[in-house]
Amino acid sequence: MKHYLLPLLSSLLILSGFVAQATHIRAGEIIVRRTSNITLSFEITVIGYKDEDSSIEFGGAGTLKLGDDNVLTGPFNTQNELLDDNTRKVWFTVKHTYSRPNAAGYLISYQEDFRNNFIININDGNSVMTTFYVETLIVIDPFFGINNSPVLTVPPVDFAAIGSRFVHNPGAFDPDDDSLAYRFTTVKRAQNTIVGGYRELVDPGFYTNYNQGNESQTGPPGLTLDTRYGDLIWDAPGDVTNQTEPPNCEEKAEYNVAFIIEEWRNIFGTPRLMGYVQRDMQIIVCASNNERPIIDAPDPVCVEAGTNINEIIMASDPDGHPVKIEAFGGPFEVNSPATYSPNPATYQNSPGSMEFDWNTVCGHVRERPYEVQLKVTDQPPTGPALVEFATWEISVVGPPPTGLTTSTQSGNSMQLSWDNYTCSNADSMQIWRRVGTYDIMVDECQLGMPPNTGYKLAAVVPINQTSYLDNNNGLGLSAGSNYCYRLVAEFPSAGEGKSESYISAEACDSLLIDVPVITHVDIEETSQTNGEILVRWTPPYQINQGTHPPPYTYQVLRGEGMEDSEEYVLLTSSPISDTVFIDNSTNSPSAPNTFNQSYNYRIILYSNGNRVDT
């Protein structure tokens, strides 16, 4: 078994008095929040995690660069919180207003001396003299909308066991509903400068038997980062200490790894990088015969805004050790946040339980699901406490619009009316139309109008509008047809994205046959130069004869293409009384090309010589 700690003792003993005072920084990141919709004002929060035993205060002598030639130096006014595992979270916030937008983004960075010592993948463990560095990029552009950085809700310091698969998730949440993507980066000591002697976590030098380095001992170790959900999985840490079982973890190996959480937004049809947060985290590895606890996430759920979500989360430990269950993520970062109990989380006999509760409201509606990061930690009698994560997705959907009614109107049109929409944060209403009723069986996670229903989008109106006259953009609806309608509310999202509500109930009505209705358009002769098409239509059976008395006559118009044309050719020089017309070289100004051209027709109705409608 390899041993990496003892060779460092001779050199570190020389610095022992200094190290006792200086070693402290384990991990950290920078979070940026916009504080004004008018000015370019932001709160920049620098978060560090330090050894509890260190007398050096994080933020005491660091340098914060704001990306616009403004540089601030410590000491900063910090706040702190004691976490488990002898780690203290320390943070400070500064306020800054940028003078102008920057579509390329402002790179905000923080640099401070003295990482904690014995980080074995930095300078072969001589890490105490290595500078700590993190950065965050924030894009500011008025054409792209308001932008905040992602928020990381899960602390970045955890224990792992030699030979046992390790998982970490940052619990990232984007307040703007931007898409998040995850990728590895290198641990740095300055901008674009990697720490000295940096080695990957799966470097062969950290393993006695590299080819059996994974948990199942069937192959080399692996290090992956899920680009969509952010699970960092190390399968598995190497045997870097000389501990014997059972362990007490007094002698341990510490590793640092860094990754980036990018935020993406759809701008003018193109995905646009809006910034990123770099997290520099620490994994403390001990020898242990402890097994990881087990936690399972509930199935993804979609709920209507206003629904209460109450769920019992269970976790257990294969060794029977007590377990502590915590929850992180977006639902805890919004107004009217979710809660869980017990909180603060406490160790319970295995299996343990946690109750999640969230009263959702309209303000929680968003395009992408919320991700709840569920974390379980065990409590062995000796040695490191191990963790496991699971991700639970919750989609909050706008309620369906209500009160939709239809009534036929003159001019081949339909009047629609509906109730004021429940959610004031919606911004528009989609109006969908089809001919004939259609029963839609909607899945709870089907947002908006499902595909392949025959419904077509007829219009989009402001959310405060509660009526609409549908006249097919002035062309008129088809007489005698049974038109059915449904509504979908739209909620604004980052960039060009929209979140759609559930669909409304269907409302239908039929137009009177008070204009001619075309019943047949048949090709009688196929020819490029001498084609012939038969057109038939009905009389206006249900016309108001008091207003439009007979006799009824007609004129025929031809347009090119399968749908309504911009220009029509009048085929009949004067109205005809018949309800059939043969479009050919004899009856029309020019014969139709029925070989490789398509046509559509319109009929003009005349009542007692006066034009009525088409």
Q: Which residue has the higher pLDDT, 6 or 426?
A: 426
Give the pLDDT mean for 418-422: 98
Output the pLDDT for position 238: 93
**Cross-strand pairs, 153:** none
**Secondary structure, 3-state, 133-195:** EEEEEEEECCCCCCCCCCEECCCCEEEEECCCCEEECCCEECCCCCEEEEEEECCEEECCEEC
CA distance 119 to 126: 7
pLDDT at 19: 42
- Write down the pLDDT at residue 497: 75
Average of pLDDT values for 6-24?
A: 43
Share of the chain above pLDDT 90, in %: 78
Confidence of residue 244 (pLDDT cuts 50, 70, 90): very low
Task: Give the pLDDT score at 15.
Answer: 40
Q: Across residues 558-575, what is the average pLDDT? A: 88
- Band (111; pLDDT cuts 50, 70, 90): very high
Per-residue confidence band for 9, with pLDDT thresholds at 50, 70 and 90: very low
> What average pLDDT does this structure show over 496-515?
89
Contact between 414 and 407 (Cβ < 8 Å): yes
Per-residue pLDDT of 357-381, as tens digits, reads 999 999 999 999 999 999 999 999 9
Rounded Cα–Cα distance for residues 608 and 614 (Å):
15
Tokens encoding 26: 């384990």
Q: Which of 314, 295, 322, 282 is nearest to 388 (CA)?
A: 295
Dump pLDDT digits (tens) for 570-596.
999 889 999 999 999 999 999 999 999
Instruction: State percent of the chain over pLDDT 70.
Output: 94
pLDDT for res 287 = 86
Which of 75-84, 286-295, 536-545, 568-577 has the least mean pLDDT? 536-545
Question: Quick one: average pLDDT of 294-320?
Answer: 97
CB atoms near residue 443 (< 10 Å) = 8
In this predicted structure, the answer to whether residue 2 has a pLDDT above a threshold of 50 is: no
In the predicted structure, residue 396 carries a pLDDT above the cut 90? yes
> Is a pLDDT exceeding 70 seen at residue 23?
no
Closest by Cα among 427, 421, 365 to 396: 365
Per-residue model confidence (pLDDT) at position 264: 96
Residue 22 banded pLDDT, cuts 50, 70, 90: very low
The per-residue pLDDT for range 40-66, each reduced to its tens digit, is 999 999 999 998 888 889 999 999 999
Reply yes or no on whether the pLDDT at 305 is more than 60.
yes
- Whether pLDDT at 141 is above 90: yes
Mean pLDDT score of the chain: 91
- pLDDT single digits (tens) 451-477: 999 999 999 999 999 999 999 998 888
Q: Pick the more confident residue, 240 or 422.
A: 422
Look at residue 493 in the predicted model and tell me its pLDDT: 84
> If pLDDT is split at 50, 70 and 90, which confidence band does 240 have?
low
d(CA 340, CA 346): 12
When mean pLDDT is compared across 124-128, 197-201, 454-458, 512-516, the lowest value belongs to: 512-516
